[in-house]
Structure 1
Amino acid sequence: MSFLWAVIAGLVIGLLAKLLLPGRQPVPLWLTIVLGIIGGVAGNALAGALGVRDTGGIDWIRHLLQIGVAAVLIAVFSPVWGRRRV
């Protein structure tokens, strides 16, 4: 069941990251989910290193870090994927 939640979280994080980036990213949905999952895991690790992983209430900083890492990953892979498809 945790695998299903990881895929759902990766989808949400990846789509939010794509919304932050200007223009169109030629990254397919499956890669968006994979990069969202990686961004979520890396964002959790970064939040833990900064000491803001578990706070009272909603962990906004952790979620922003997850989305930010996913946005960077999508920004890096988008030109690579676009060149590959042409």
Structure 2
Amino acid sequence: MTVAGLVSALLVGLVVGALGRLVVPGRRTAPLWLTLVVGVVAALLGTILARLVGVAGAGFRLQDVLVQVGLAGVGVVLVAATAGRSDSA
């Protein structure tokens, strides 16, 4: 993993983590730090997945960023939608 890949994953994860809170309707029970961390981890996993699939190249590539954004978005929305829920019936 190159430095550019790590930096892009970090930036994408932070941005998607912050924006992910805006997409989920209702009261936000997940703390901001949790959505940011999930965004960063998912974006890093997106970089690894992009390399395994073969869409990532040397340096900064659009395909790599799209995979990062996709995974980070899904991760943040899942955490923001489910954090703090108690299913006591």
The TM-score bracket by the shorter chain reads 0.5 to 0.7
1:62 aligned onto 2:72? no
Task: Report SS of the residue matched to 1:83.
Answer: coil
Q: Which runs of 5+ in 1 are unaligned?
A: none
Partner of 2:32: 29
Partner of 2:56: 53
Q: TM-score, normalised by structure 2?
A: 0.64
Structure of larger gyration radius: 2
1:39 aligned onto 2:42? yes
Q: Which runs of 5+ in 2 are unaligned?
A: none
Among the aligned pairs, what percent are the same residue? Answer: 33
Q: Distance in 2 between matches of 1:25 and 1:61?
A: 34
Equivalent residue pairs, number: 78
Q: RMSD of aligned C-alpha atoms?
A: 3.1
Shift in Å at residue 75 of structure 1? 2.0
